[in-house]
Chain A
Amino acid sequence: MNPLETRGKSRILLWVLLAVAIVIYGFPFLYLLLTSFKTPLDAISVPPSVLPETWTLDNYVAALSRGGVPAALINSVTTAVVSTVLSLVLAVPAAYAITRFRTPSGRVFIVAALVTRMVPTIAVGAPLIELMRTLGLTDTSFGLALAHTTISLPLSIWLMASFFEAVPDELSEAAEVDGCSRIQAMVRVVLPVVSGGLAVTAIFAFLASWNEFLFALLLTSVRAQTTPVVIANFQSQFGLDWGGMTALAAIYSLPVILLTLFLQRHIVAGLTLGAVKG
């Protein structure tokens, strides 16, 4: 038991405090869900009510049948998957090299990866517009996936490096003594050991792309537009269409929220690993 764990009567008070915190924390998204089931007029009624007066799926039907929405959902998936694969393919060997061989180049590299995290997105995004035009990748999911990889790759390298760090060097050394080449030792012996870490890294790379907005805004216009940009543009002639917006936001957020519930232990590991290990 943790020495900071409280015993006795004050525990009840703490549970009450926690309940209050959870309600405050959970309410905004719950309200978003409830609003998405209201009629469009109900959604902007004065005074507002928490529960829908009549429950309806109209907002979902309207949101999904809107031009560009299904395509944007598909674009989001495509972009995120391509970007995740790309980050893993690039990050896994790099992180392995950094932790397994500890060469000076590796040390420089991991610091450089940290520095890229501090760069304001716009400083990379603006020149990327021109670069993508040169490469003929403007308004393509692949081009956007490349841009998203600039965010997820440094993160993936850090995460994978922490996971490889936990694997004893003796494992790959033994594999090499047994006749494996260096690549075989990495792919066949070490990689299966860190498969959980690979999953965590994949989730974070996926989320980084799934939720990204600025690159999507700068680098796509029609064909490759992802859902966050569409949600942001959910205007009607009366201003923002809150009913439709909340419905699309729910469709977009629920899968990843459910993902956290199922994979929470992995996600907590990924979030805290780098930070706690220092």
Chain B
Amino acid sequence: METLAPQARAEAAPAAPAPGPGRPTRRPARPRRHLSKDRGDRRFALLLLAPAALFLTAFVLWPLVRFVYDSFFEISPFAGASRTFVGFDNYATAFASDAFQSASLRTLVYTIVVVTAEFVLGLAVALLFTALGRRSAVFRTVFMYPLMIAPVVAGLLWRFLLIDNFGIVNQLLFEAGIISSPGQIQWLSDPNIALFSVAVPDIWLTTSFVTLVLFAGLQNIPGDVIEAARIDGARYPRILFSIIIPLLRPVIAVALIVRGIDAARAFDIILIQTDGGPQGSTTTLSLLIYRTMTRFGDPGLASAMGTVYLLVMLAVAIAAIMLIWRPGSSAR
């Protein structure tokens, strides 16, 4: 269509003086049909877009505007109580608070842990499936099943698996001789490691997504490039880092951006495992905002935190798309 459009415009030009809707008696000349059709198309397209646009305006854009607007007010949690305009006070409070700073840091750490683990494991499994070829198809299906499980279920399940005294993970590690007593690793109750432990179910749940996306990308790598490198004596690690990963770049970018956004927004999977504890060590931004809003009853402050969070997410995502994906260059 990109190539078609200018052509259509050039054809339409001579017929410009007669754009009337009246149907000519003879078969309409192509150019005229195109001109009136273009305008009709545009109107039809708007008509088709309108319902979805209205819906998103009413149920996403409007709530967001309200959310940002609330961040400039001091709001009492009791219904019908007063609101006072306080300017940027909530933002000042948010930035000055330890809770907000450490939650931001935790969100960052959590996101990096999840995305890195999923990328390394996802790529490894995708390469494994590729190396094994068509016969591995059945196992690809098996590998995909966690994607269908609710994050709440995954969180609870892993909380159960990692429980200190009767968790099966510690028991198996103990039986394998890796740890000296079944209660040695306090996965979810040791504040030093809890943030990493709560990331496990998230990694378990969505590494398959990264695998599937990278696997699909691997199938599109031109065979002759790999053959040529092999003939030149390149070994597998060299082929991986110099050919495969650079060629997969756009696909990797999409997978990591999608997963990064979701990991940074993770809520239910953490809430269900630790409720932000122990000692707040797993309170990420979404949990902090949720609590500030519902339990501490300060919607104004929560909105300010949320607005900062939203802006940072948008900025990082856009920067990531520009930097890694590089639309318009080597990527398609």
Residues of A within 8 A of B (CB): 1-6, 11, 14-15, 17-18, 21-22, 25-26, 28-29, 31-32, 35, 44-48, 50, 89-91, 93-94, 96-98, 100-103, 105-106, 109, 112-113, 115-128, 130-131, 146-147, 149-150, 153-154, 157, 169, 182, 207, 210-211, 213-214, 228, 231-232, 240, 242, 245-246, 249, 252-253, 256-257, 259-261, 264, 267-268, 271-272, 274-278
For the complex formed, measure the closest distance between the CB of A261 and the CB atoms of chain B, giving whole angstroms: 6
Complex: how many Å from CA A14 to CA B132? 7
Residues of B within 8 A of A50 (CB): 168
User: Are the C-beta atoms of A120 and B289 separated by less than 8 Å?
Assistant: yes
Of the residues B157, B165, B215, B218, contact of A46 by C-beta under 8 Å = B165
| Known contacts A18-B132, A48-B167, A276-B251; is-contact A25 B66 (Cβ 8 Å) | no
User: Are the C-beta atoms of B150 and A210 separated by less than 8 Å?
Assistant: yes
Residues of B within 8 A of A (CB): 1-2, 4-5, 40-42, 44-49, 51-53, 55-56, 59-60, 62-64, 66-67, 70, 125, 127-133, 136, 139-153, 156-158, 160-161, 165-168, 171, 182, 204, 209, 212-213, 215-221, 223-224, 226-227, 230, 244, 250-251, 254-255, 258, 261, 265, 267-268, 272, 285-286, 289-290, 293, 299, 302-303, 306-307, 309-310, 313-314, 317, 325, 327, 331-332
User: Are the C-beta atoms of A252 and B313 separated by less than 8 Å?
Assistant: no
Write the chain A residue with the least CB distance to B252. A275
User: Are the C-beta atoms of B168 and A267 separated by less than 8 Å?
Assistant: no
Interface of B is mostly: helix
Complex: how many Å from CA A101 to CA B299? 43
A sample of 17 more A-B contacts (CB under 8 A), given A46-B166, A115-B314, A119-B64, is: A3-B226, A26-B145, A35-B160, A48-B171, A105-B45, A105-B46, A118-B313, A122-B306, A131-B59, A150-B59, A154-B56, A214-B290, A256-B149, A264-B140, A271-B213, A272-B213, A278-B332
Residues of A within 8 A of B56 (CB): 112-113, 116, 150, 153-154
| Known contacts A96-B48, A271-B212; is-contact A259 B148 (Cβ 8 Å) | yes
| Known contacts A122-B267, A210-B150, A268-B144; is-contact A28 B161 (Cβ 8 Å) | yes
For the complex formed, measure the closest distance between the CB of B251 and the CB atoms of chain A, giving whole angstroms: 6
Complex: how many Å from CA A108 to CA B229? 42
**Could you pull out 16 A-B pairs where Cβ atoms are within 8 angstroms?**
A4-B244, A21-B143, A25-B142, A31-B168, A48-B167, A93-B52, A120-B306, A122-B293, A123-B63, A131-B59, A150-B60, A169-B4, A253-B148, A264-B144, A268-B212, A278-B332
Write the chain B residue with the least CB distance to A212. B150
Residues of A within 8 A of B153 (CB): 228, 231, 249, 252-253
Residues of A within 8 A of B147 (CB): 260, 267, 271
